[in-house]
Amino acid sequence: MLPKVYLKALFVVVNQIKGGFPVAKGLSPQLEEKIKRYQSLQQQIGSVQQQIQALKIEQMDIDKALKEIEERPDDEICYRSIGRLLVKSTIKETKTKLKDQKELAKTRIELSEKSLNKLKKQFDEIEKELKAAFEGGK
């Protein structure tokens, strides 16, 4: 992360850009774009992190459900949730559906983590560019 001094300056500049106020003199349009991109990447990173957390919670819920029905006979009747409905099913069918959901959640987590890493890399690059620009302006 940028040092607090740079973050405060960046915050002021971003707020000026958002508010439609004139931005500090000598700030190039390219630097303004980098600041906007920096802020956008911050928001995207936060969003992807929340998505990953939600998927991990979903995966834990699936694990709990699988553990609950693990010892039950495959032909026993149970009810599983499909949206707002409870549907009559067998333990065997439910285990299969839960395992499929777990695999899907795992794949989505992996893809989201790859996306997060790409965003963080872009964020770090822009952060270095902004730091260099602010240091060069002194």
pLDDT of residue 133: 83
pLDDT value at residue 23: 47
Residues ≥6 apart with Cβ < 8 Å to 21: 15
Q: What is the pLDDT of residue 9?
A: 56
Q: What is the pLDDT of residue 85?
A: 95
- How many residues are present in the chain? 138
pLDDT at 40 over 50: yes
pLDDT at 78: 94
pTM: 0.74
Q: 16: exposed, middle or buried (C-beta count within 10 Å: 0-12, 13-18, 19+)? A: middle
Predicted local confidence at residue 113, as pLDDT: 98
How is domain 4-18+27-136 classified at the CATH fold level?
Helix Hairpins (1.10.287)
Compute the distance between CA of residue 96 and CA of residue 91 in angstroms, rounded to an integer. 9
Note the pLDDT tens digit of each residue in 83-118. Answer: 899 999 999 999 999 999 999 999 999 999 999 999
- 49 within 8 A of 117, measured Cβ to Cβ: no
More confident residue, 11 or 39: 39
pLDDT for the residue 1 = 55
116-138 confidence digits (pLDDT tens) = 999 999 999 999 988 888 787 65
Return the pLDDT at 29.
Answer: 85
Phi, psi of 119 (to 5 degrees): -65, -40
- C-alpha of 85 from chain center: 29
Q: Report pLDDT digits (tens) over 1-19.
A: 555 555 555 555 555 444 4
Q: In the structure encoding, which two tokens stand for residue 91, read together? A: 């333990």
Please, are residues 117 and 71 in contact by the beta-carbon 8 Å criterion? no
